[in-house]
Chain A
């Protein structure tokens, strides 16, 4: 085996298989945004702190700016674009709207994916567990107050129709 500077990768993103040649140096977030046009995943920092680029890879929340696309060959990825189905908002999305858990909306996709990862693994989180789950997602608008409330409400199924 010899190292390569670009490689063909096959990834399943939101249920669809994509095959692309990609440079080894390309970050997953740029692969999603620039190559696959999935622009719901955002970039807010360049050090893996802000979590705006959070997606779920093989069931785990990760920061897509902290992975190379070539590492994902064969992986299954869920992005914000997969959350609503058939025009119906996911309960978390509805709860975020109900509770005014977003202002500018830039951190929201990453925040929602972290919240989904939490609820996928813990159906009844405590407030502290919610805060720990979104510790890796920076929001500069809300002070997190309404985000925490929204996630708690979604967990309890208390969302508006």
Chain B
């Protein structure tokens, strides 16, 4: 509950934030803080400096892109995703899934950027963003670079955001006739995730992404049909972690079930 001593800075602009992150070894961005503060309370990991992104207004916007997609600032909260009419219109799955994150208070603070950058295996958004084919924009000392979501997640609590870099924006392509679905098994209603899956179905092709079965989301491609999805999960040979909420075997089984359900939901979505 009690944090180690930590430095704090609250830059007014993205380039200043990037400079702070680059200048200080062990600096980490502080977005909503709903994961990193917990880790710091446990003193399981100790950043030396927190760079508070609260004043970076340009990271707080949700905008429709010209092609009907969405550009979401990294500091947009889960609560804002839930109520955003742009999200509802363009890619409703994002709001639906954001509504299942923890609880009201956490959704009021927790951000989309923080959720994906922490990449806790139990998080819901990483699989969704991989499934929809989002693009992650990372600002660094040399400007911005784009990383596709399926290359963004590198490990538990690790992503493609490097030293002196900052995730600023997440761009979702337009649905363009595709449909999204999501399914999860959690401990109680909206509790800690046991296994989840997100799916995007275009015509008869499904992109299925499994969460909480590995350090990073697992992307599979299959025909959008139950047996094919099940087979794709089987042949992915996942080795899920075992814990008190489920053996590796149970998670492997659930992965098939939620994958099929996510695809079915996508197929049924209008």
Contact = CB atoms under 8 A, between A and B. Distances in A.
Chains A and B touch (C-beta atoms under 8 A apart) = yes
Interface of A: 1-5, 7, 23-27, 43, 46-48, 51, 54, 60-63, 65-68, 70-71, 73, 114, 117-118, 132-133, 135-137
A54 B4 CA distance: 23
Interface of B: 1-11, 16, 20, 24, 27, 30, 33-34, 37-38, 40-42, 49-52, 54, 79, 102-106, 108-109, 189-190
B20 A46 contact: no
A48 B38 contact: yes
A63 B16 CA distance: 28
A114 B5 contact: no
Contacts, number: 110
B106 A48 contact: yes
Contacts of B27: 3
A66 B33 contact: yes
Contact of A4 (B8, B37, B54, B190): B8
A25 B5 contact: yes
Contacts of A70: 8, 10, 52
Contacts of A1: 9-11, 16, 20
B55 to A, nearest CB: 10
A157 to B, nearest CB: 23
Nearest to A1: B9
A62 B3 contact: no
Given A135-B103, A136-B102, A136-B105, A25 B4 contact: yes
Contacts of B190: 135
A66 B108 contact: no
Given A27-B3, A46-B41, A48-B34, A71 B105 contact: no
B104 to A, nearest CB: 6
A3 B24 contact: yes
Nearest to B102: A136
Contacts of A47: 38, 41
Nearest to A58: B108
Given A3-B9, A47-B38, A47-B41, A60 B108 contact: yes
A140 to B, nearest CB: 15
A59 to B, nearest CB: 9
User: Which residue, of A1, A3, A67, A118, has the highest number of chain B Cβ atoms within 10 A?
Assistant: A3
Counting from the closest, the 8 A-B pairs by CB-CB distance are A136-B103, A3-B7, A24-B8, A46-B1, A25-B3, A3-B9, A60-B108, A135-B103
A65 B190 CA distance: 20
Given A114-B104, A135-B189, 4 more contacts: A25-B6, A66-B105, A136-B102, A136-B105
B7 A24 contact: yes
Given A1-B11, A7-B8, A27-B1, A114 B105 contact: yes
A67 B8 contact: no
B31 to A, nearest CB: 11
Contacts of A133: 104
Contacts of A54: 105
26 contacts: A1-B9, A1-B20, A3-B20, A3-B50, A5-B5, A25-B2, A25-B4, A25-B5, A27-B41, A47-B41, A48-B34, A48-B38, A48-B105, A61-B108, A63-B109, A65-B41, A66-B34, A66-B37, A66-B105, A66-B109, A67-B37, A68-B37, A71-B30, A71-B52, A114-B104, A135-B190
